[in-house]
């Protein structure tokens, strides 16, 4: 029968893949229970929800079974930033190249929604452009890996270049952009499992030369799936904005994304209500096509503020500037985005 001392001896041969120290040395063993031939462990790693975590999981199971365990149960959680710092920090952080590095002064803002079709990506793009128009250095990661749309929305037709083994993001309207859409040919579907998604996100942070940014916006996929969970574990200091429509059901579903942010201790900056109303250019009369009150009710439920209400509309087509979803700064809706961006800057 395996003993606690025997299990620890086995675990001393397993390294944290990011810290390159064994998981006993990193004080990663949070819980250990041994019953007959069953071993249950809770392990803390520098990074979770990654392909490397899966390899660690397989290694632990194989080694414990080889030493007498009949079955093994594993759970994982991330080490705190303080613990990682005491252990010397992550290698990619030590060089100061990663935007997630210890010395980074970038504020991360995730744009989330409970469901698709509420205009989250449109909000992400226009908010990024508005922040840039207010003089901030801004980047955007199109983290909606299955439903990437940011390059098309911003009218980006070029691809990222590589310099000094680092990916250079594409710039449009002064905003630096990285998207899965740059790495897929002919709009092909992306068929990936969770660990592969986590690895791509790691690349977006660690392999891209973002330079000096004030804000990096993350256009998340709708809901609370793998990518959203990866972001929550990779960037515990990330802020969050929840996008909804005025419809009560959309707001009810969006509350799930907000609840996830609260549980993972992400600060919610506020709620943006999209498609709030349609305003006639001829009469100025407003029609509340999708109802009223969803954004206000959601902000009350989440204990935050309603940052702004964006009406239904379409950017004016400009022959010399192709960007199907970006509003000009002097456009009525463009001005609303500038007001929202100003409020966000004040809050931060």
One domain for residues 85 and 117: no
Evaluate whether 296 touches 306 at the Cβ level (below 8 Å).
yes
**Quick check: 84 pLDDT over 90?**
no
One domain for residues 83 and 142: no
Q: Which two tokens stand for residue 265?
A: 């201790």
Q: pLDDT of 154-196, one tens digit each?
A: 999 888 888 887 889 999 999 999 988 887 665 555 554 555 5
To the nearest 10 degrees (0 to 180), the angle between helices 226-234 and 248-263 is 40
Evaluate whether residue 97 is within a structural domain: no
- Which span out of 15-19, 122-126, 144-148, 325-329 was modeled with the highest average pLDDT? 122-126
Select the more confidently predicted residue: 127 or 263.
127
Evaluate whether residue 327 is within a structural domain: yes
One domain for residues 153 and 277: yes
One domain for residues 198 and 306: yes
Interior CA angle at 315 toward 310 and 319, to 5°? 170
Identify the domain containing residue 259 by its residue range.
107-347
From first CA to last CA, the distance across the chain in angstroms is: 55
The arithmetic mean of pLDDT across residues 257-285, rounded, is 83
Q: Could you give the number of structural domains in the chain?
A: 2
Evaluate whether 239 touches 107 at the Cβ level (below 8 Å).
yes
Evaluate whether 205 touches 196 at the Cβ level (below 8 Å).
no
Evaluate whether residue 101 is within a structural domain: no
In three-state secondary structure terms, 15 is strand
Residue 93 pLDDT grade (very low, low, confident, very high; cuts 50, 70, 90): very low
One domain for residues 134 and 168: yes
| pLDDT given at position 319 | 59
Evaluate whether 239 touches 266 at the Cβ level (below 8 Å).
yes
Residue 262 pLDDT grade (very low, low, confident, very high; cuts 50, 70, 90): low
CB neighbours (10 Å) of residue 189?
7
| CATH classification of the domain holding 65 | 3.30.300.130
Cα(39)–Cα(25) distance, integer angstroms: 20
One domain for residues 111 and 17: no
One domain for residues 82 and 135: no
One domain for residues 77 and 120: no
One domain for residues 38 and 172: no
Evaluate whether residue 59 is within a structural domain: yes
| pLDDT given at position 104 | 79
One domain for residues 190 and 244: yes
Last residue of some domain: 56, 89, 122? Answer: 89
**Sign of the Cα pseudo-torsion (125, 126, 129, 131, in order):** negative
Assessment of whether the complete model's pTM goes beyond 0.75 = no
| CATH classification of the domain holding 203 | 3.40.50.300
Burial letters for 54-78: b for 16+ Cβ neighbours within 10 Å, e otherwise? eebbeebbebbeeeebeebebebeb
**Pick from 152, 169, 150: which is nearest to 161 by CA?**
169
Size of the chain in residues: 348
Q: How many CA atoms lie within 13 A of 295 on its CB side?
A: 25
The rounded Cα 288 to chain-centroid distance in angstroms is 31
Burial letters for 226-262: b for 16+ Cβ neighbours within 10 Å, e otherwise? bbbbbbbbbbeebbbbbbbbbbbebbbbbbbbbebbe
Q: Which two tokens stand for residue 26?
A: 């990193």
Q: pLDDT of 24-66, one tens digit each?
A: 999 999 999 988 889 999 999 988 877 788 888 889 999 999 9
Q: Which residue has the tokens 């006993």?
A: 24
Strand order in 38-45's β-sheet?
Answer: 29-35, 38-45, 71-78
The arithmetic mean of pLDDT across residues 206-235, rounded, is 79
Question: Mean pLDDT across the chain, nearest whole number?
Answer: 84
């Amino acid at each position: 029968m395996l003993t606690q001392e025997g299990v620890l001896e086995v675990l001393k041969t397993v390294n944290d893949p990011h810290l390159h120290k064994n998981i006993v040395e990193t004080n990663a063993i949070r819980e250990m229970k041994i019953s007959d031939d069953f071993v249950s462990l809770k392990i803390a790693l520098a990074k979770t929800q990654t392909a490397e975590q899966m390899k660690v999981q397989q290694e632990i199971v194989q080694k414990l079974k080889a030493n007498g365990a009949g079955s093994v149960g594993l759970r994982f959680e991330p080490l705190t930033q303080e613990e990682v710092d005491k252990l010397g920090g992550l290698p990619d952080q030590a060089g100061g190249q990663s935007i997630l590095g210890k010395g980074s002064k970038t504020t991360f803002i995730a744009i989330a929604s409970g469901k698709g079709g509420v205009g989250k990506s449109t909000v992400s793009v226009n908010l990024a452009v508005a922040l840039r128009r207010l003089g901030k250095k801004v980047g955007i990661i199109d983290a909606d890996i299955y439903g990437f749309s940011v390059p098309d929305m911003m009218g980006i037709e070029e691809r990222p270049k590589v310099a000094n083994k680092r990916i250079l993001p594409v710039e449009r309207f002064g905003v630096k952009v990285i998207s899965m859409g740059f790495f897929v040919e002919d709009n092909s579907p992306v068929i990936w499992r969770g660990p592969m998604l986590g690895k791509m996100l790691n690349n977006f942070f660690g392999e891209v030369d973002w330079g000096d940014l004030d804000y990096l916006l993350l256009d998340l996929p709708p809901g609370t799936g793998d990518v959203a969970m990866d972001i929550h574990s990779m960037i515990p200091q990330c802020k969050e904005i929840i996008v909804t429509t005025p419809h009560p059901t959309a707001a009810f579903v969006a509350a799930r994304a907000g609840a996830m942010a609260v549980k993972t201790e992400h600060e919610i900056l506020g709620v943006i209500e999209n498609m709030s109303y349609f305003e006639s250019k001829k009469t100025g009369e407003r029609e509340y096509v999708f109802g009223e009150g969803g954004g206000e009710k959601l902000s009350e439920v989440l204990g935050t503020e309603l940052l702004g209400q964006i009406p239904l509309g379409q950017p004016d087509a400009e022959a010399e500037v192709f960007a199907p979803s970006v509003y000009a700064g002097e456009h009525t809706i463009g001005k609303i985005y500038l007001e929202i961006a100003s409020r966000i800057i004040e809050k931060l």
